[in-house]
Amino acid sequence: MLNNQCSRSHSARTMLAVLMLGVSSAMAADKTGLEVVQQVCAACHATGKDGAPMIGDVGAWTQHAKQGLGKLAEHAISGLGNMPAHGGQPALSDLEISRAIAYMVSFGHAVDPTKPYASPRTINPEQLVQSHCLNCHGDGKAGAPRADDFAAWKPRLQVGVEALARSAVSGHKSMPARAGLNNLSDTDMRNAVIFMIVQSATAQAH
Ligand code: HEC
Ligand code: HEC
């Protein structure tokens, strides 16, 4: 019994070390800028609906782009006025949003960036977990891995932290994309995932 306890907390510590190294794994293919624009952004930006800068309107985009592409990305991620967060599609990654912006700002000539322009941190991870994630991860609602149950996280961790963070962004089975909070960035989601897993491993080690 005692032995069992020991080896369990040892493996929790090993997993923590792995977490800190930031294991990454191959991601599902990201959409190109053109694909995102066609599938999502064009709904407003093709026609100028609600005052959206129109695709092809050099003057309007040049004006918006003056604040810097990073700021444009932050606004498109978190929402601005009549512009819904993530264009209303929370499963789009911050990278995909950045590519779509590059496409619209450069009138289709932009090479896809390999990194998002911005993935702002908008909220403290502990606060986000407490105020939102624990609604399901507190008591394991609908099969959510509990925030104090490292054993439930361990098999999921085999794909790596980055893949789990990505899965929290895009949604997984009964977990909605971005846990239903469209205005959170990829960074917010990733920090919250790491916070919960570290918390579960710490609970286990005690
Ligand atoms: C439901 C309509 C709608 C959709 C869909 C939409 N937008 Fe917008 N967008 C707007 C409106 C309206 C504005 C102008 C907001 C303002 O300036 O108050 C805007 C403004 C923007 C801006 C300028 C922000 C700034 O700081 O000046 C960017 C960048 C942008 N959208 C990107 C996107 C991207 C990328 C997509 C697709 C993923 C998208 N939008 C989808 C309505 C939309
Ligand atoms: C409405 C309920 C609900 C909320 C709120 C919620 N989750 Fe989940 N979450 C679930 C469920 C259910 C699962 C299990 C789905 C499955 O089997 O993969 C899950 C699974 C996950 C997974 C594992 C995904 C995988 O691929 O194995 C991660 C990571 C995760 N949630 C992160 C979060 C974070 C971070 C938050 C807060 C920002 C959050 N969740 C809020 C219900 C929720």
Look at ligand 2, atom 37, and give the residue with the nearest C-alpha. 133
CB–CB of 107/54 below 8 Å?
A: no
99 lines ligand 1 (CB under 6 A): no
Start-to-end CA span in the chain (Å)? 15
Atom of ligand 1 nearest to the CA of 73: 29
pLDDT tens digits, 96-142 = 999 999 999 988 888 788 899 999 998 999 999 999 999 999 999 99
CA of 25 to the centre of ligand 2 (A): 19
Q: How far is the CA of 110 from the centre of ligand 1 (A)?
A: 18
Digits of tens for pLDDT over the chain (206 positions)?
344 444 455 555 555 555 544 444 345 578 999 999 999 999 999 999 999 999 989 899 999 999 999 999 999 999 999 999 999 999 999 999 999 999 999 888 887 888 999 999 989 999 999 999 999 999 999 999 999 999 999 999 999 999 999 999 999 999 999 999 999 999 999 999 999 999 999 987 77
Q: How many CA atoms lie within 13 A of 34 on its CB side?
A: 5
CA-CA-CA-CA dihedral for 165, 166, 169, 170, to nearest 10: -150
Residues in the chain: 206
- Does residue 168's CB lie within 6 angstroms of at least one atom of ligand 2? yes
